[in-house]
Chain A
Amino acid sequence: MLEVAGATRDYGIRSGGKPATLRALRGIDLTVEPGEVVAIVGESGCGKTTLSRLCLGIERPSSGSVMLAGRPIASYHRIERARLVQPVFQDPYSSLNPRQSLGGIIAAPLTVRGEGTRATRRAQAEAMMAAVGLPPHLINAYPSQISGGQRQRAAIARALIGEPKLLVCDEPTSALDVSVQSQIINLLGRMRRQFDLTVLLISHNLAVVHHLADRVAVMYLGVIVESGPTEALYARPRHPYTSALLDAILPPTPGARPRPIAIGAEAPNPVEPPSGCPFRTRCPNATAVCAEAMPAVTEAGAGYFRCHHPLD
């Protein structure tokens, strides 16, 4: 469905008054099979949103390639591309047009393509609203009149109305309250089955990722440092960064104590990434070799990791 090969993305910025290059992605390889839910996890600034924008075709890689359904994503006309891939963004307050009614927002993908008549589009929007659990009377409501959870449902309805194959969800539940978050997680799970969707899920919440994803890729400073099937990765992380992320999950269970995080506090500036392994400045196990060379990909089971000193 989606194949990212050797993708890099550089941004020209000014740092301290001097032109500099921010290397947001440094050689990403990622394959998403049809019907899979693949999650990209990592902390802020690791490049996960940049990667999602490449997969949506909103941005081009500086080098490398992004293939969607077997063709370079840049070769699609934007309307063709929108038939295949649709986004759901983090903030349902800013991703819906405040001056359009829900019916208009949800039917927009069909309107843009000039599909059907006004009446058939409205009927499809009504059907989609029912599918995502929005009450029918909201069809004429404006985003400001509905709750955050309802807005995220509307954003999902808009994404799915054109029956895309791939949904790119960038932190779809981060802006929502706990009880609403679970509704949206359930909805994504149900929509995935109902519409036979492939999902690329971008999140920093490892508990949500565990619940939804079949496969997880852990990103750090523009590099995928570990990837594998969800159960295996959570049961036996091989990269120290993955292990620290898992230790940082705070379960709402009695007697849970924060586990000491074995890594240093500071992520380095992506304008001046460290030599060798990107994680070495925070890694408790780093040695001289880590400063010399980027660790090669080591295959392990159905996944892989990049580390000179993997965990057992």
Chain B
Amino acid sequence: MSTFVDIANLKVSIPSADGLLQPVRGLDLQIAKGETLALVGESGCGKSLTALALIGLVPPPCRVEAERLSFDGQSLLGLGAADWRRLRGPRIAMIFQDPMTSLDPCYTIGSQLVEVMRTHRDLTAAAARARALELLTRVGIPSPATRLGQYPHQLSGGLRQRVMIAMALSCEPDLIIADEPTTALDVTTQAQILGLLAQLQDETGVAILLITHDLGVVASVAHRMAVMYAGQIVETGPTAAVLANPSHPYTEGLLRAIPTPGLTARGTPLGTIPGIVPAPRTPADACLFLDRCPYARPACAAPVPLLSTEPGRALRCIRPPDERAGEPGYTALIEAV
């Protein structure tokens, strides 16, 4: 698989009264054609800003710098507004978390879909409308003709997210960025939307960058995953391999913290990660997970690079699992909660 999206040393900085904040500090990421890559992390880790950098929507006064930020061989650094307009929609589409705030309440579903297609494609109004109908059918919306004439408030959350997906697909993009696409939805709706995304990817070969905090969502749809912590990637690899054998202590801690019926014993204490995320102004002159890591050693107080450990996997930690085997790690922390 060829590299389709290539990000090297991406930094997003915010000038503030307290000095320069850096919510994304040196991020490396590759996405291949047709694959789903999940970018996983907790709130404030910089995953949404990474997505916005990829679609040119990082709000001022934030600054975006990178060694490489390219999409299908084209550099995205320093693009003008007109260049971005040619990319956004036809090549890169975005699905946001909350479909209520990303659809315009004053226009019907149909007119919003038609507007996107007529902006980017040379289509007559009638042809665009026919295609809108076809798209709504494809994303599984019942009685699509009626829905075209309705306003966003007349649709449920699940239907609105289906409309967003239809809109993202309308210009046949090569990459869809989905930022927490199911977080605002009910659990049964979430499963249905994830199933729809996977099915559409099979049919169209679109690459998906899925931003989420939910490792259950990652497990069910992503081919590869990248775990983000404090603005950096700490671990990447094929989803099944990372979930089965997490290499980074942070990934291990996250997986221990999730109750899973059938796997975790009811009522027993869950694993926890002590401490809190470092502020985005902490200089990255040491491992950023140092203060919270049960495996930390004095040698961790130096910058840690993201290095390949085996084909397809990379790790930002000087103490990989075989090195820390036999240490109590998180299990020593459980009763200290």
Contact = CB atoms under 8 A, between A and B. Distances in A.
A187 B336 CA distance: 11
Interface in A170-218: 177-179, 181-183, 185-187, 189-190, 204-208, 210-212
A210 B259 contact: yes
Contacts of A43: 186-189
A230 B262 CA distance: 12
A133 B194 CA distance: 37
A233 to B, nearest CB: 11
Interface string A215-258: 00000000000000011001000000000111111111111111
A147 B276 contact: yes
Contacts of B188: 43, 244-245, 248, 261, 263, 265
B191 interface: yes
Given A182-B272, A189-B267, A252 B260 contact: yes
B241 interface: yes
B259 A185 contact: yes
A262 B78 CA distance: 48
Contacts of B271: 182
Contacts of B263: 251, 253
Give the interface residue-count category, chain B.
Answer: 35 or more
Contacts of A17: none
A186 B337 contact: yes
A230 to B, nearest CB: 7
Contacts of B240: 254-255
Nearest to A177: B42
B270 interface: yes
Given A147-B276, A258-B221, A178 B213 contact: yes
Given A177-B42, A252-B219, A258-B194, A189 B258 contact: no
A23 to B, nearest CB: 18
B42 A258 contact: no
Interface string B131-158: 0000000001000000000000000111
A249 B43 contact: no
B272 A179 contact: yes
Give the interface residue-count category, chain A.
Answer: 35 or more
Given A178-B215, A207-B261, A210-B261, A261 B192 contact: yes
A258 B253 contact: no
B309 interface: no
Residue of A43, A204, A252, A261 most packed against chain B (CB within 10 A): A252
Given A211-B270, A250-B214, A256-B220, A178 B258 contact: yes
B267 A211 contact: yes
A254 B213 contact: no
Contacts of B140: 265
B132 to A, nearest CB: 20
Contacts of B267: 189, 211-212
A136 to B, nearest CB: 17
Nearest to A212: B267
B190 interface: yes
A266 B158 contact: yes
A301 interface: no
A283 to B, nearest CB: 12
Contacts of A260: 195
Given A177-B43, A251-B219, A261-B192, A204 B187 contact: yes
A211 B218 CA distance: 21
Contacts of A251: 216, 219, 260-263
B221 to A, nearest CB: 7
B332 interface: no
B220 A250 contact: yes
Interface string B232-243: 000000011101
A48 to B, nearest CB: 12
B1 interface: no
A247 B266 CA distance: 19
Contact of B216 (A187, A208, A249, A263): A249
A138 interface: no
Given A206-B261, A258-B191, A253 B266 contact: no
- Top 6 A-B residue pairs of the complex, sorted by shortest distance between their CB atoms: A250-B216, A252-B215, A182-B257, A254-B240, A43-B186, A211-B259
Given A182-B258, A204-B187, 11 more contacts: A43-B186, A177-B42, A205-B187, A249-B260, A251-B216, A252-B215, A254-B241, A258-B220, A258-B221, A266-B159, A267-B156
10 contacts: A147-B276, A179-B253, A181-B257, A207-B259, A248-B188, A250-B214, A250-B219, A254-B243, A255-B219, A266-B156
Interface of B: 42-43, 140, 156-159, 186-192, 194-195, 198, 213-221, 239-241, 243-244, 253-264, 266-267, 269-273, 276, 337
